[in-house]
Structure 1
């Protein structure tokens, strides 16, 4: 341990969240001396995945509304949020509920579960996938197909509540018997427009409306009725329900153009064993193979700055180290966007949600269900934000066979927790094949994000780069990779070459014939 302080480090990275871990991957062939710390005793930071016991322990440090957390403090000059502990406020108001007879009904040993803090889907056209391939890290991650997207339809008269699958292709539209012929023509006109929306011919249609609500644009320009607008808005995965035309068209374009890229019937994938946590751990393993030193349960604070163009850090284990660059996370989250999430483990495989809808398509492991505010019984007004449910089968490795893990998300409001619980109840009642499934376990928490830009400053003469906190989006945001590249350039300095970012040859012994996506 004493040898850690013998030679200066080129960079000290605080936190093993996804962005810090991808930076470690990007630096893994650079021959730089890298010390990678995390004050937590687990990898993944804000994108971690927990066993039940770990989730219970995590909740004890995130129960308060004041933001007193010991998990996120990894900091340097001043405690920084992703690196931070008592000063961080990314997670708060966490609590756990167990069914009184959970074990008798099938809740099994703690490590049979891997509940993700960041259950984001990854569209097949995402830059993250291409960079995992170019960096040769993809062989360590198993990806599963994300299947159908649904909208919850409440009961109408004698017609019971149901889940309506959102059509995302020409075949879907024309095989749907519930959409009238005239509406199908309007929907097809819109889908064709979105595929080519950024071309010179199509920009004139929407650019004058770029900052207006997508819902109004769908009405005035394409004459879509309430039901069709509900389908289109659900595909945007927008948590506040107020997506603009410019943002909405970009998201729907990504959804439609991702369909079929890696195989029929799906447009997105999900990493097995805990979502983005698995990607972060794979990236950290690459960093370790490249010579990086990893220390969990270890935080750092600035001891002295500007010593021979280095900063001296005092680690929580008492050792002092010197570094030429610092990487941390922003802690200015007090006024950021806040989401509420309810994670539920239920005693049912919910098989009806995981059926392949196209011949030759892989069996999906994830389904997405949108609950517009008007369909949520507890919603206080139609202006309340929607609820989204990401339903995961046991194939994700997040729960045992015969059970499902459900991640429900909405914008935080006074009625958010009640809306999430009502949406969960409606989903189980609607998706059940026979009797309503039993909910065995629930984890609730609120998450606040910082500004979406990194903070670049200096500690003495040493550069310090602080990543923004993770995006609350339900689909992975490729802009975070631009931030990773920015941090990589900060560390590499004059050695940085754009065409070398995360582009590596296979290490000796790697199997070049391994499948890219399993």
Structure 2
């Protein structure tokens, strides 16, 4: 058997983040000689999912300055942590992104047959947190109606607001047609709220309902981008079943897709080495020489890696919490025949929270509540992922949002917070780079829903590796391997 150094690899892929792993999937039937390495001892990179013990090790690495785009990571447990189960009972995701049913990612997973190895769960309702104007009363959560049936049945908005909402929802589904473009084109690059206020006469509350559906981290999404995102949400409703527009991969979100993709790469003949990074890179004509941390020296026609250099753009601050409650009220099917959702999304609009110094929150906070059905925590508990743009007050704002949420969803007594993981994720380059035989993926997206633009650099790298053969190959479309399982319904 040839050693690593004796082989001229067609490609060395560094890192097992989602993009690198999808590239391994795309190349899994190519017959190329592929070496796939990762300096981490786990799969998934910035999209990894951790047990409690793995999370501790990761926090230590971030604290040592070897966490790439992550910083300021910390863990806190309740004084009485008796409610926590064993470490492996948890799978806490670094990138808990929901995936809309109309996403190109799902089409590629189906065409490549990789979907059979992933179990998908329904993402349920979206809510708005409403602080109480009366200190004696509890704040509340208001469900956002996003279908015709929900608009008619909701009691959260007035009759006039329902008419405006129905008019807008109908408009969005056909917003690219010539007559509709005349309405929104003058506002294309302006905030979506300008169109909602001026073009549709919506008040601030109704505008918040609409903007929340975009999952915009700053609440200032442009009209052209906002309309595209909302139409994706509306057109995704009912694709895989009634009552939901998005799905979430069980066992840790995008981490599961990354691992399934790497398994496909291994079945296709790729060699995998965890705990192995690159110490030195030496480029020559049509070849890259790599000195690995394992002590091996390898040669490859192409190196594909990820960008982990921070940019000057604003990153995100995240708080992951485990609570001792199943939060059953959030995970109820709202339509007859709909599956029980495993995820619910709650938005805290800008200004709805305040710090101890009475400073109002500058940006929205989004809380994604996950039931034990996701496999991320034991039965009887839930995992909460809270996200906001990174500011000097972000950490405190997230803690305030967590406290407000558990009190709002309690029935007389707030659910106990058993565990908290906090960290910041810095922004990086949003474009791929090619320098000779080295291809660099952009930094991972911090969006709360999967952005299909993430897939474009993967296909770009695939074309470069495949060369002329790319013109005759069908991208991410594979026949069943011999002995593959029968088709199953992958969506639950």
TM bucket (normalised to shorter chain) is: over 0.9
Q: Secondary structure at the match of 2:157?
A: coil
SS, match of residue 452 in structure 1 = coil
Aligned to 1:61: 61
Normalising by structure 1, report the TM-score: 0.92
Q: Which moved more, 1:55-64 or 1:502-511?
A: 55-64
- Secondary structure of the residue aligned to 1:367 is strand
Does residue 179 (structure 1) correspond to residue 157 (structure 2)? The answer is yes
Once the two structures are superposed, the pairs formed by residues 177-256 of structure 1 within 5 Å of their partners are: 177-256=155-234
Give the equivalent residue in structure 1 for 2:28.
28
Q: Is the 8 A contact 1:135 1:503 kept in 2?
A: yes
**CA distance, structure 2, for counterparts of residue 499 and residue 385 of structure 1:** 45
Cα distance, 1:208 vs structure 2: 1.3
Taking structure 1 as reference, are residues 375 and 303 closer, same or farther at Cα in structure 2, changes over 3 Å only?
closer
The CA distance in 2 between the partners of 1:421 and 1:174, in whole Å, is 35
Where structure 1 has 5 or more consecutive residues not aligned to the other structure, the ranges are 72-87
Provide Cα deviations, 1:218-265, integer angstroms capped at 9, x if missing partner: 011101112211111111101111111111111111111111111000
User: Are 2:407 and 1:429 aligned?
Assistant: yes
Gaps of at least 5 residues in structure 2 are: none
User: Which residue of the other structure, out of 394, 397, 408, is the alignment partner of 1:419?
Assistant: 397
TM-score (norm 2): 0.97
Deviation at 1:303, TM superposition (A): 5.1
Structure 1 residue 432 displacement after superposition: 1.7
1:76 aligned partner: none
Output the CA distance in 1 between the equivalents of 2:289 and 2:190.
Answer: 50
Query: Does the CA contact (< 8 Å) of 1:328 and 1:467 recur in 2?
Result: yes
Contact persistence 1:133–1:516 (CA under 8 A): no
Please give the alpha-carbon distance, in whole angstroms, between the structure 1 residues aligned to 2:123 and 2:466. 37
**Counterpart in the other structure of 1:93:** 72
Q: How far apart, CA to CA, are the structure 2 residues paired with 1:404 and 1:480?
A: 29
**Contact in 2 for aligned 1:373/1:381 (Cα 8 Å):** no
Give the match for residue 14 of structure 2: 14
Alpha carbons of structure 1 residues 315 and 515: separation in structure 2 relative to 1, 3 Å: same
1:395-474 correspondence runs (5 A): 395-458=373-436, 463-474=437-448
Counterparts of 1:286-435 in structure 2, within 5 Å, are: 286-302=264-280, 304-306=282-284, 309-378=286-355, 384-435=362-413
Contact 2:70 2:425 in 1 (8 A): yes
- Secondary structure of 1:513 counterpart: coil
Give how far 1:302 is off. Answer: 3.7
Tell me how far 1:517 sits from its aligned partner: 1.9
Moved over 6 A (4+): none
> Among 250, 260, 277, which residue is 2:238 paired with?
260
Deviations 1:470-500 (A, max 9, x none): 1000000000111110010111111113761
Aligned to 2:43: 43
- Alignment length, in residue pairs? 490
Take 2:341 and 2:238, find their aligned partners in 1: how far apart are those partners?
Answer: 13
Aligned to 1:75: none
Distance 2:448 2:229 in 1: 12
**Aligned CA-pair RMSD:** 1.5
Cα deviation, residue 301, structure 1: 3.5
Q: Deviation at 1:179?
A: 1.5
Does the 8 Å contact 1:506/1:512 carry over to 2? no
Q: Kindly indicate whether the alpha-carbon contact (under 8 Å) linking 2:142 and 2:156 is maintained by their aligned counterparts in 1.
A: no
Match of 1:160 in 2: 138
436 and 303 in structure 1: CA distance in 2 versus 1, 3 angstrom threshold:
closer
Which secondary structure does the structure 1 equivalent of 2:116 belong to?
helix
Structure 2 CA distance, aligned partners of 1:58 and 1:36? 21
Cα separation, partners in 2 of 1:34 and 1:478, compared to 1, 3 Å: same
Say which of 251, 272, 276 aligns to 2:250.
Answer: 272
CA contact (8 A) 2:361 2:397 kept: no
How far apart, CA to CA, are the structure 1 residues paired with 2:281 and 2:108?
36
Distance 1:498 1:163, change over 3 A: farther
Alignment partner of 2:132: what SS? coil
User: 1 CA distance for matches of 2:281 and 2:147?
Assistant: 59
* TM-superposed deviation, 1:382: 5.4
Structure 1, 136-145 or 217-226: larger mean CA deviation:
217-226
Picking from 58, 83, 86, the partner of 1:109 is 86
Give the secondary structure class of the aligned counterpart of 1:373: coil
